[in-house]
Amino acid sequence: MKVSQYLVKKLVEYKVTDVFGIPGGVILDFIYELDKDENIDVHLSYHEQAAAYAACGYAQRSGRLGVAYATKGPGVTNMMTAIAEAYYDSLPVLYITAHSQKALRRELRIEEEQEMDHVRLVRDITKYAKRIDAVGEVAEAVNAGCRAAVSGRKGPVLLDFSARILKSEIEFPGEHEGKPDSADHEAPDVCINNILTSLRESARPVFLLGDGVRLSKTEETIAKLSEKMDIPMLSSRFSQDIVGGHENYFGYIGSHGLRYSNFILSKTDCIISFGNRMAFQTESESFKPIVEGAKIIRLDIDEQELQRDIPGSSGYRVDLKELIPELVQTAVPRKSFEWLRICHKLKDELKDYDMNPAIMKLSCLIDMLNEDETLVCDIGNNELLVSRAYAVSGNGKNLMHSKAFKTVGSAIGKAIGAYYASRKRVMCIAGDQGMQFNIQELQYISSNQLPIVIVICNNNASEMLKDSERKQGYTYELHTTLNSGYSHPNFKKIADAYGIKYMAARPSADGTIEMLDNEPQIIEIFLDGQCGIQQHLPKGYPCQMFLPQISKDLYSYLDNL
């Protein structure tokens, strides 16, 4: 078989069903082989960045290997932001590129047009990157790359093939599985004993969940552990869908967290962190008292994450897929329900704070999704609105963010990938600024009639940056409002141009929004100055003391529970 055939065969083995990219001369042999295989659909994107985001969305929604391809030079550089996205958010994505230059001579700036060392460009944002110039290197590199992408702490891989060898014959190779991530995990019994002892000795423990729970597919198991031991669960903001709707789940923490979630965090004496980076500032006046006052046990598959300095904590490199089921079997039910009662009291008292018409409108839209459908959120003020709206409703829906790299404009491409991963309707929420970053993919959505509902939160501003300008003391706005250099198109005309049905709405307006089931749609929500996120945690304040402040009497009562 040809090298390109072997590569496609390997993707089928990894249950890849959809591949995204833009053709180029050096990559054509691979694309034609994809087209011949009945197990894989190959999709023509309209920008390499969006194709690479689609592969991210596919991987994020399915948990399987996502795949995108690009031609040499600018095709690869256009993908780099999405490669970094996959690296920061631990997404298993294989990026396949090609080159035609036989050897690289770095003493020359340009020897052949578009040729560059793709591997050097991405080495620091991939788990594995390999330039493949000989047929004898193919099997080992392909197997090692695929294995690296999906094992341990998952992440992106780049394989850069010589176009010459893609057409070459390769004998059917033996399996070169490559080495899995070096795994010297802690002994489970030592870890379990420490966890259970700490829980027995604590009065107010919490489970703090991060994306490691999602990546290890232990959502249901961690919920069973919480039920058995009657321990409340908190999460990071980007992980609130992991156990959303469970009666023991009490929201997301952080400087943009929920009031009741931060109140609960402030009262805990023991934190068991499951796959959560705990990236808050431990020396800040807001979070230092929590670190000093609680026993902290951190559980993560990535040993490097455990090097994060959190004073007084203990960390174990473990695979949650193995650890959590053993905890469920070993744990003994707790006898006290007082701590859960306090958590419910805090939530009941504070759940209706920090609401506004935009949040209520978005929560109604989220409620219209079925539980097996997907919500994809872009970066900006809109994501804070969506996070709050999701806490009101949306429990059970898959929620996808750009978490650590925080990439404005990633949502449309990810929504396309999420659709192909699930073949279910997707809602994509973006701001009027982020909507324009990969707006060309509306052509793909339209021409393929994908059931993607795009909700544009239009406040005529770059709201998050405008807020940063104010907080940093600048006395005027710059490039963030219609009067200071920012602008956006008429989105109704954009929808008409792409042949997508359009609907306008205002948060305070009566009437229901008709959401389409089986075709693309754009819903533009016009926001005003009253529809931003008002609550925030000022520097130096206790983590539970958000502004605008609640009444002093209520705060004192809740703080003393």
Q: Which domain-ending residue is among 296, 317, 350?
A: 350
Name the CA dihedral angle for 234, 240, 241, 245, rounded to a multiple of 10 degrees: 50
Say if 540 falls within a structural domain.
no
User: Measured between alpha carbons, how far is 326 from 313 in angstroms, rounded to an integer?
Assistant: 22
- Domain end position, chosen among 132, 166, 200: 166
Model's pTM, two decimal places?
0.94
Assigned domain for 469 exists: yes
**Is 214 within a domain?**
yes
* pLDDT by position in tens, the chain (length 561): 999 999 999 999 999 999 999 999 999 999 999 999 999 999 999 999 999 999 999 999 999 999 999 999 999 999 999 999 999 999 999 999 999 877 766 666 666 777 788 999 999 999 999 999 999 999 999 999 999 999 999 999 999 999 999 999 998 666 555 555 555 566 678 899 999 999 999 999 999 999 999 999 999 999 999 999 999 999 999 999 999 989 999 999 999 999 999 999 999 999 999 999 998 787 889 999 999 999 999 999 999 999 888 888 999 999 999 999 999 999 998 878 899 999 999 999 999 999 999 999 999 999 999 999 999 999 999 999 999 999 998 667 899 999 999 999 999 999 999 999 999 999 999 999 999 999 999 999 999 999 999 999 999 999 889 888 988 999 999 999 999 999 999 999 999 999 999 999 988 777 778 899 999 999 999 998 777 788 889 989 999 999 999 999 999 999 999
Total count of residues recorded for the chain: 561
Amino acid at 167: K
C-alpha distances out from residue 205 to 73, 101, 273, 308, 542, Å? 52, 59, 11, 22, 19
**DSSP-derived 3-state class of residue 245:** coil
Q: Report in angstroms the alpha-carbon separations of 466 from 140, 384, 529.
A: 50, 15, 12
Q: Would residue 558 count as lying in a domain?
A: no
Using alpha carbons, list the distances in angstroms from residue 484 to 479, 481, 533: 5, 5, 22
- Residues 207 and 161 grouped into a single domain: no
Identify whether residues 380 and 514 lie together within a single domain. Answer: yes
Residue 94 lies in a domain: yes
Between CA 159 and CA 145 the distance in angstroms is 7
Q: Do the beta carbons of residue 78 and residue 48 sit within 8 Å?
A: yes
CB within 8 Å of 110: residues ≥ 6 apart? none
Q: State whether 409 and 526 are in the same domain.
A: yes
Phi, psi of 520, deg, nearest 5? -70, 155
Domain boundary among 131, 166, 201: 166
Q: Which of 41, 123, 126 is nearest to 90 (CA)?
A: 126
- Non-local CB neighbours of 487 within 8 Å, separated by 6+ positions: none
Q: Structure tokens of 522? A: 């754009």
| Pair 329, 464 in one domain | no
User: What residues have CB less than 8 Å from 127, skipping those under 6 apart?
Assistant: 87, 148, 149, 154, 155, 156, 157
Helix spans in 283-374 (H):
288-293, 320-330, 338-350, 357-367
CATH classification at residue 195: 3.40.50.1220
Do 219 and 243 lie in one domain? The reply is yes
Q: Is residue 409 part of a domain?
A: yes
Domain assignment present for 86: yes
pLDDT digits (tens, 9 = 90+) for 467-493: 889 889 999 999 999 999 999 999 999
DSSP 478-536: -SSBTTTT-----HHHHHHHHT-EEEEE-TT--S-----SSS-EEEEEE--GGGS---B
Same domain, 147 and 214: no
Tokens of 114: 């578009």
The whole domain housing 135 covers 3-166
144 and 217 together in one domain: no
CATH number at residue 509: 3.40.50.970
Residues 151 and 9 placed together within one structural domain of the fold: yes
Do residues 48 and 84 both lie within one domain?
Answer: yes
Domains identified in the chain, total number: 3
Do both 154 and 255 map to the same domain? Answer: no
Structure tokens at 245: 């709707």
Q: Are residues 450 and 472 in the same domain?
A: yes
In this structure, are residues 226 and 218 in contact, taking their beta carbons and an 8 Å threshold? Answer: no
Please tell me whether residues 194 and 151 are part of one structural domain. Answer: no
Query: Is 175 inside any structural domain?
Result: no
